[in-house]
Structure 1
Amino acid sequence: MTTLGRRALLGAGAAGAAAALAGCTSEDTGGGPRKPDAAARAAAAEAALRRRSAAAGRDLVTRYDAVIAAHPALAPRLAPLRASAAAHAAALAEGVPAPAPGPSGTGSPTAPPSPTRSPAPVRVPADPAAALKELTAAVRATADTHTAALLTAPPEYARLLASVAAAGAAHAYLLTEGGRG
């Protein structure tokens, strides 16, 4: 009987140790919400940055289109800059994941407008000089937005943002100083 008691005691001890070790694992299987790990948070932050940058690029192209539509005489001067801005917007949007669906299934309420949804109409001054001035301000603001995003961008995307921001600064110059000569 002593042998049976020892075996029972050893078996109970082993089962208890296994149960204790199972409770010490790093995976939480208690059914509660899991906190995303650092890699998942970084990926989500990068996706959000890419969506914002792409939306800023698309908004700038929309502004170029509005000014060209309102002042066709400016088209020869603006068309090459608009084409460049469109190429930049496309490059910034490359690899942009779709926003996660919100409660209504149509996207999150803070998601940028999709390329298929029409943005709000852009008001363009009747005076061509005033329209150029506003467009130049929008180009500078977009370049500044891309420059500010460099602080949180991963290295490869930061290089792209830096290039697009530098091109935006050159466009602003061409819209002002460069157009005077």
Structure 2
Amino acid sequence: MATSAAAAAAALAGCSSEATPARRRTAPGSVSAETALRRRSTAVSAALLLRYDAVLKAHPELAPRLAPLRAVVARHVEALAPVAAPGATSPKASEPPSPGASATNAASEPHAPADADADADADADAAAAAAAAAVRGLAAAERSTADAHTAALVGAPPEYARLLASVAAAGAVHAYLLTKGARS
């Protein structure tokens, strides 16, 4: 009986010592799974970045309010990207479009002198409404992006999960700042 107990103990010890290194090794598919997750997460944030660029291009007057949030999203795109091989350079998020690059000035169109004030007021109201709608759209995109990053936490390795959680939290704060935070 002592012999069988010793044999069982040796077998268990052998299993545990062999199993521990195997757990530490990365499974062949997990590296590519993490890379795929990083690519998806980067694409989600990159789409948000493009949305910021489009709003800033259409409404350059929003630059003081949106540029800091856009800069954070650009850093998120870089942080979420798959890890580059040694010596490779990672793509940088594009610079924001210059505020006046393609902005059209509707007020510069000629008007009859009697209608100038009414047209200017109508143009200003329409522009303000369009800008407000664009900001609401950005807030919705921030919430959607934060939700996508939160959903991705399930399959993420611990270190990347912490990054995704931080980026999702930042997105939630951005959505707040674009909506309720603007009213304060």
1:173 paired residue number = 176
Q: How many residues align?
A: 121
User: Which residue does the alignment assign to 1:5?
Assistant: none
Structure-to-structure mapping, 1:22-41, within 5 angstroms: 39-41=27-29
Pick from 133, 151, 154 the counterpart of residue 151 of structure 1. Answer: 154
- The structure richer in helix per residue is 2
C-alpha distance in 1, partners of 2:28/2:178? 42
Deviations 1:16-58 (A, max 9, x none): xxxxxxxxxxxxxxxxxxxxxx811212211110000011111
Mapped pair 1:82 → 2:70: yes
Return the index of the structure with the highest Cα Rg. Answer: 1
How far did 1:94 drift?
Answer: 4.6
Gaps of 5+ in 1: 1-37, 98-114, 117-124
Amino acid across the alignment from 2:165: A
% identity of equivalent residues: 64
Unpaired runs of 5+ residues, structure 2, are: 1-25, 86-90, 93-125
What is the CA-CA distance between 1:64 and the residue it aligns to? 0.4
RMSD over aligned Cα atoms: 2.4
Q: TM-score, normalised by structure 1?
A: 0.62
Provide the TM-score with structure 2 as the length reference. 0.61
Deviation at 1:139, TM superposition (A): 0.7
Match of 1:95, SS?
Answer: coil
Instruction: For 1:42 and 1:72, locate their aligned partners in 2 and report how far apart those are by CA, in whole Å.
Output: 44
Would you identify which runs of 4 or more consecutive aligned residues in structure 1 move more than 2 Å?
A: none
**Residues 47 and 96, structure 1, Cα contact 8 Å, conserved in 2:** no
Query: Residue 175 of structure 1 aligns to which amino acid in structure 2?
Result: L
SS of the residue 1:151 aligns to: helix
Structure 2 counterpart SS, 1:150:
helix
